[in-house]
Chains A and B, each alone.
Chain A
Amino acid sequence: MAAGAQASKESVRHTVAAADRERPLVTWLDIAFLIYYYPLRWVLAILGSRVLDLVQFCAEPLGRVLQRGDLRIAERGMTKLLEVAPEQARAMARQCCANRVRTSLWELLPDEHAPGARPVRIEGREHLEQALQPGRGAVLVALHCLAKREARAGLQRAGIEYLPLIHLTKSHVNDRDPRYAGYGRLLWRFARSRLHPMLWTKMSGYVARMDPDAVLKIMGILRDGGLVMVSPDVGGTSSVQPVRFLNSLRGMSTGSLDIARLTGCPLIPMWVWRSGNQCVVEFHEPLRVCFDGGEETRESNVRVLIEAMERQLRAHPEQWELWDQRVLGES
């Protein structure tokens, strides 16, 4: 390993150790976790998915209380990137936080109740079925939506299975997952060891971008007529290029275009959103991309991809997961 990378690792280790020392002994999140892990988890097991219906009415006020910081960031992001009035952004940000509460609750439900209150409503299924052919699967293009795991579980029950390509970083699989940053020194390891497997078992099967064999695995699945899902709205690997997405410059992965080109598989937009307690999945016509030309054609394809994602995001901004995260590698 290069000296520079080794020094960087050391520096991260020191920073993390210093952050650990600054962590308080007990935080409110520890208390919330204890309440969840002991009485609340059993209550949820008894209530099952009915709890999602009950929470529906108080999700927004709960979101405003529990996610004050995220609410402000989401509001700012929406005002800037969607160029809407602050009042409109505030309303959408509140809905977004309500969705986040509901998603968190869904993830906390024991496995047997996890699939959700109602079957997912699927629209545009014919686009998917027409695109699939023997020996040729399809690449589903989706944004990072809050209801994505619910949607996947619902689609599985409806007979539509796909393998998501996820942006898994080393921090997700080790002690440094930022989701546990809010816990105190006393309980964070206790909380993590119980929460982590529970959250990850909801992800039944995936391909991680950092897997060196990721693209070849995807190739195998597509060749067998299967489905793979990609979410280009997060950058982070070698195919990241700066693009204009919404109202700013972002690093975005365009590897899905290369996969489509090389395998001959269509790119099918899959939009996921939540309407009340109902999860809706829309499949759209395959993206009109062409691979005959050089640089201009490639740029044109990237624009088609971005415009499709922007359309979905503008239609349902409160469903997008990434308003409060700087995972887009903003330049």
Chain B
Amino acid sequence: MMDGLQNLWERLERVIAGALGAEVSCVELRQAARLDDLVALDSVALLEFTIGVEREFSIRIENQRLNRDFMTDLPALVAYLSQLPT
């Protein structure tokens, strides 16, 4: 379970690097409450990140969750991703 969670954070780290070009370690991600505390996220960057998450995890995030508050809330996002069927 913990391995799975660690894996999630690592995958998020990859998404951020690939989509945004920002090198943020999963340690920093775990310690931060919000992604936009660590990375500047203008509207295009937010879209890049969202689509990057969908592609990485092969999911479609529901429309009601498509908002900045949810997508940048790292603990909530990871909790959501962790409860998706693999």
A53 located at the interface, meaning its Cβ lies under 8 Å from any Cβ of chain B in the complex? no
Residues of A close to B67: CB separation below 8 A: 213, 216
Q: Is the CB of A262 within 8 A of B47?
A: yes
Name the residue on B nearest A135 (C-beta). B60
A126 located at the interface, meaning its Cβ lies under 8 Å from any Cβ of chain B in the complex? no
Interface residues in B49-75 by Cβ distance below 8 A to A read 50-51, 60, 63, 66-68, 71
B72 to chain A minimum Cβ distance, whole angstroms, is: 10
Q: Which range holds the interface residue count of chain A?
A: 10 to 19
The interface centre, meaning the residue of B42, B44, B68 with most chain A CB atoms within 10 A of its CB, is B44
Q: Which of B43, B60, B63 has a CB less than 8 Å from the CB of A215?
A: B43
B46 located at the interface, meaning its Cβ lies under 8 Å from any Cβ of chain A in the complex? yes
Known A220-B63, A237-B43, A255-B43; contact A262-B71, beta-carbon cutoff 8 A: no
Name the residue on B nearest A213 (C-beta). B67
Interface secondary structure of A, over-half rule: helix
Q: Which of B47, B63, B68 has a CB less than 8 Å from the CB of A258?
A: B47
Interface secondary structure of B, over-half rule: helix
Q: Is the CB of B43 within 8 A of A223?
A: no
B75 to chain A minimum Cβ distance, whole angstroms, is: 19
Known A220-B63, A223-B60; contact A215-B71, beta-carbon cutoff 8 A: no
- Interface readout for A251-279 with B: 1 if CB under 8 Å, 0 if not? 00001001100110000000000000000
- Interface readout for A203-224 with B: 1 if CB under 8 Å, 0 if not? 0000000001111110110011
Name the residue on A nearest B60 (C-beta). A223
CA distance A220 to B60 in the complex (A): 10
A198 to chain B minimum Cβ distance, whole angstroms, is: 30
Q: Is the CB of A224 within 8 A of B63?
A: yes
B10 located at the interface, meaning its Cβ lies under 8 Å from any Cβ of chain A in the complex? no
A11 located at the interface, meaning its Cβ lies under 8 Å from any Cβ of chain B in the complex? no
B29 to chain A minimum Cβ distance, whole angstroms, is: 20
Known A262-B48, A262-B51; contact A220-B66, beta-carbon cutoff 8 A: yes
- 29 intermolecular pairs with C-beta atoms under 8 Å apart: A212-B43, A212-B68, A214-B43, A215-B43, A215-B46, A216-B46, A216-B47, A216-B66, A216-B68, A216-B71, A217-B66, A219-B47, A219-B51, A219-B66, A220-B63, A223-B60, A238-B42, A238-B43, A238-B44, A239-B43, A239-B44, A255-B43, A255-B44, A258-B44, A258-B47, A262-B47, A262-B48, A262-B51, A263-B51
18 more A-B residue pairs beyond the given contacts A223-B60, A262-B51, with a C-beta to C-beta distance below 8 A: A212-B43, A213-B67, A215-B43, A215-B46, A215-B47, A216-B67, A216-B68, A216-B71, A217-B66, A219-B50, A219-B66, A220-B66, A237-B43, A238-B44, A239-B44, A255-B44, A258-B48, A262-B47
